[in-house]
Amino acid sequence: MKLILSGGGKGKETEEIDTLFKELVSGKVLYLPQARKEKEYNSCLNWVKQNIHKNSEIDLTIKDLEKYEGIFIGGGNTFKLLYEFKETKFFDLLKNFKGVIYGGSAGAIIFGKDIITASDADKNQVKLKDTLGFNLVKGYSIFCHYTKRDDKVIKKMIKKYNLKIIALPNSSALLIDNNITVIGNNCFIFDKEKREIKVNEEI
């Protein structure tokens, strides 16, 4: 599995990251909209076809991912997204996918160690108790849409939940394929101290 985990944004902000996904995936793309409200699924799919990959489709009953080269997991409510993946056992299915997964915002956060990093922006309306994600980012949790004003809340999360966090601004992403490489724009690591990681550097 190859992962692209984006801090969020749209248009010019994510153009470079969107282009990379298109270059890596020539075949069918499965779009997973579960972070959104159900009534928004079709309009979201139209946006994905125009901006992310023209060969995208939604299939909420899927049991076999082999016909897809790529998966796009969009933004929305992170707790709802992880809840639905775990309730339907899709969580386990996704772990064994062999293609390219592009996660934006909520779709990126679920691949970190713990999605509690979304609690400042998202409400846990589904009452999700197990907030552990896929943990595919070397034990880091992901914080999306990062700006400098988020430093205080991130530092509180690190102390309260004993986390180490990668903070991704809009236009910043991680490319994970054996190594973890920063693409798009610089990101920041919060652990014992705050560190800036520049584009093309590895984490």
pLDDT of residue 61: 67
Task: Please give the tally of structural domains in the chain.
Answer: 1
Count CB atoms within 10 A of the CB of residue 155.
13
How many Å apart are CA 155 and CA 176, to the nearest integer?
25
- Mind giving me the DSSP string for 71-119? EEE--S-HHHHHHHHHHTTHHHHHHT--SEEEEETHHHHTTSSBGGGGT
Whether residue 203 is contained in a domain is answered as no
43-64 average pLDDT score:
79
154-183 per-position pLDDT tens digit: 999 999 999 999 999 999 999 999 999 999
Q: Please choose, from the candidates 83, 88, 40, the residue with its C-alpha nearest in 3D space to the C-alpha of residue 60.
A: 88
Is 202 part of a structural domain of the chain? Answer: no
Reported confidence tier of residue 49, pLDDT bands at 50, 70, 90: confident
The domain containing residue 67 runs over which residues? 2-197
Taking alpha carbons only, the member of 5, 4, 6, 7 closest to residue 146 is: 7
pLDDT in the model for residue 60? 66
List the one residue out of 68, 57, 49, 166 whose CA is nearest residue 108.
166
172: domain CATH number?
A: 3.40.50.880
CB 152 within 8 A of CB 173: no
Give the lowest-confidence range in 17-26, 82-91, 145-154, 180-189: 82-91
| pLDDT value of residue 92 | 83
> Domain for residue 89, yes or no?
yes
